[in-house]
Structure 1
Amino acid sequence: MRTIPDSLDPRAVAGIDARLALVEREHGVRIPWAIESGSRAWGFPSPDSDYDCRFLYVRASDDYLSLWPARDVIETPLDRVFDVNGWDLAKAVKLIAKGNAAALEWLRSPIVYAGDPAFRDRLLGLADEIVARELIERHYLHVGRQQLGSGTSLKRFFYALRPAAALRWLADHPESALPPMDLPTLIAESSVGPDIADAVAELIAAKAVTRELGDAARPAALVRFTEQELDRAGRRDAVLDGPERGARWDEVRARADAWFLDELRAGSRTTR
C-alpha cells in the first residue's frame, strides 16, 4: 500500500524510501508500516515543514528472547528536511494498550509511504478490543494542555487546537475511540459551528504561507474553543482511575500478549 499526494516533493519521498530500506538492511528488521506524521498528515503544513516519517518495525522472533534486548526505537539522522524514526511493534502495542494515541494515529495517516493494509487492520482490530476510550481522551487532553502553554508560535497553537478538535470529535462520536488524524476531517465530522469551521480553514490557509516558527494572531474564537474543550475533558479526566488498575488491565495485557505472539508467528511464516 502506498498513498503519496502530489504535494510531497518526489526527491524527499525518494529520500525517505532510501532511509527505510537502509533501516531494514542495517538493523535486520521488517517494516510493515511507514507513514507521514506531523503537520503534513495533520492537514496544516507550512512552506518549510520537514518530513516526519514514522514507522513500525518487527525484529526476528528470536531477538525478543534475548536477555539484552535491543532498543525499541530506531532513529535516523535528523536534519532540516528529514525526521525519520520508528518504534518496535512491541513498544507500539504496549503504548496502545495504555491509551497512547500516537501509534493509532500512525495507522490512520492519510500519507502512507509503504504498508501492509492487512497488518494495519489487524492492529486496529486489537485497538478496538483493548483501548479504553477514556484513556484516548486523556492522551489528547495532556497533549493539548502541554502545547497550549508551550509558546506563542502559530505552530504551537495548531498543536493544541488539533487535540481540542479530537476531544470534540470524541464527544460527538461516543461509539468510537479512534478519531481521525487530520484537523480538517476532525472539524468536518464534529458539531462545531460554521464560525469555528471557517476560522480553522482561514488559519490553515495562513499557516500555509507562514514559516514554521512564525507568529500570527490567534483568533479569539479558536482560543475559546480550545480552552473550553480542554477544560471539559479535564473535568471528566479528574474522576478517572489510572490505566493499570483492576481486572480489566490484566485482561488487556493478556490480549495484547496473545496478539503480539500471533503476529510474530505469522511474520516468521511469511519470511521463511
Structure 2
Amino acid sequence: MKELIRRKLIEIEENYQVKVLYAVESGSRAWGFPSKDSDYDVRFIYVHQPDWYLSIDPQGVGKKRDVIEVPINDLLDISGWEITKALRLFRKSNPALLEWMRSDIVYYQAYSFIDQMRELEPQVFYSNATIYHYLNMAKNNYREYLQGSEVKSKKYFYVLRPVLACKWIEENRTVPPISFQELVNELVPVGELKSEIELLLKRKIAGDELDLEPRIQLINYFLGNEMDRLEAYVKTISEEIEDPTAKLNVLFRSTLNEVWG
C-alpha cells in the first residue's frame, strides 16, 4: 500500500506541477483504532512553483485553489493543502495539521520544511483554540451518536479521543499525542473505566462490527462529566502568544528557495 500511495503522490506532482513536502496517514489508522474496512486517509502538504505565487490573484481564490483532492475510492482518500494554506492554519494552531505533524505513518518527507515547522510549534501552539476544537468535536459526536439506549459502539472512540486530547492539553499545555492508546495510558487511571475502554479498543482492532449495542453507562457518565467540566475550564484560560507571522513568512520563502532554487 505504501508503494501505491507513493506512486499516487508522484502522479499528483506531475499533474499539478507541484512538489510534495510531507505526506502522512491521518484518521483512525494514525490514531490507532482502525476497523477491518478502514480506508487509507492520506494527507499531504505541497508547494507550487514560484511563479504561481507571483500574481495579482491571491491563493485560494478562483482557479488558484489551495487544496488538491484526489477522487475518493473504497481504499484511498488522498488530499493535500498548499503550503501557505497550511502555514496560515498552523498559525491558528489547527488541530488536524498538528496531528499530521505527529503521525507515525509517514509516506513521504522531503526538504527541511516539516522539521522547521516542528521547531516553531511551541511558538504557535494556542491551547485555548485547540481545546475548543476538540471539545466541540466531542460534543457534536456525543450528541449525534451516543444518546440512545443503543448506540454504535465504535463511535465512542470519536468522543473519547477528543475528550482525552483536551485533558492532555489541560495537564501539559502541549499538543496531545496522536496515539489513542498513549492518551488512555497517561490519562485514565487503572480501574473499571480503563478496562471498559481497553476492551472496546481490542474488539475494534480485532475487527468486531461494534454496531448497535446497549450504551456503556460508565463511559457515557465519564464523557458527560468531562465535557461539562472542560467547558467550564476552557473559559478560564487566558493566554497570549507572539504573532508568528514573520517567522512563517521566512519559512515559506526559504522553502520556495530550497525546493525550486
TM surpasses 0.5: yes
Q: What is the one-letter code of the residue matched to 1:62?
A: D
Report the alpha carbon displacement of residue 254 of structure 1 after superposing the two structures with TM.
Answer: 3.1
Measure the CA separation in 2 of the matches of 1:149 and 1:114. 37
Match of 2:248 among 256, 261, 264: 256
Shift of 1:25: 0.7
**TM-score under structure 2 normalisation?**
0.86
SS of residue in 2 equivalent to 1:171: helix
Unaligned 5+ residue runs, structure 2?
146-150
Q: Of the candidates 201, 204, 208, which is equivalent to residue 204 of structure 1?
A: 201
Q: How does 1:1-272 map to 2 (within 5 A)?
A: 12-68=1-57, 69=59, 70-116=64-110, 118-151=112-145, 152-174=151-173, 177-208=174-205, 209-211=207-209, 214-239=211-236, 248=241, 251-269=243-261
Which segment is superposed worse, 153-162 or 97-106? 153-162
How far apart in 1 are the matches of 2:124 and 2:153?
A: 35
Identity within the alignment, %:
32
Equivalences, count:
250
CA RMSD of aligned residues (A): 2.3
Residue segments in structure 1 that go unaligned for 5+ positions in a row: 1-11
* Matched residue type, 1:41: A
The alpha-carbon deviation at position 45 of structure 1 amounts to: 0.9
Q: Deviations over 1:139-172 (max 9, x none)?
A: 2112111222222433432111110111122223
Given the two structures, how large is their TM-score scaled by the length of structure 1?
0.83
What per-residue deviation string (whole Å, max 9, x for no partner) do you get for residues 87-109 of structure 1?
11211111121121101100111
Change (3 A) 1:170 1:22: same
Q: Deviations over 1:87-133 (max 9, x none)?
A: 11211111121121101100111111112484322111222112212
Instruction: Give distance in 2, aligned partners of 1:64 and 1:192.
Output: 51
Higher deviation after alignment, 252-261 or 104-113: 252-261
**Which amino acid in 2 is paired with 1:156?**
K
SS of equivalent residue, structure 1 residue 259: helix
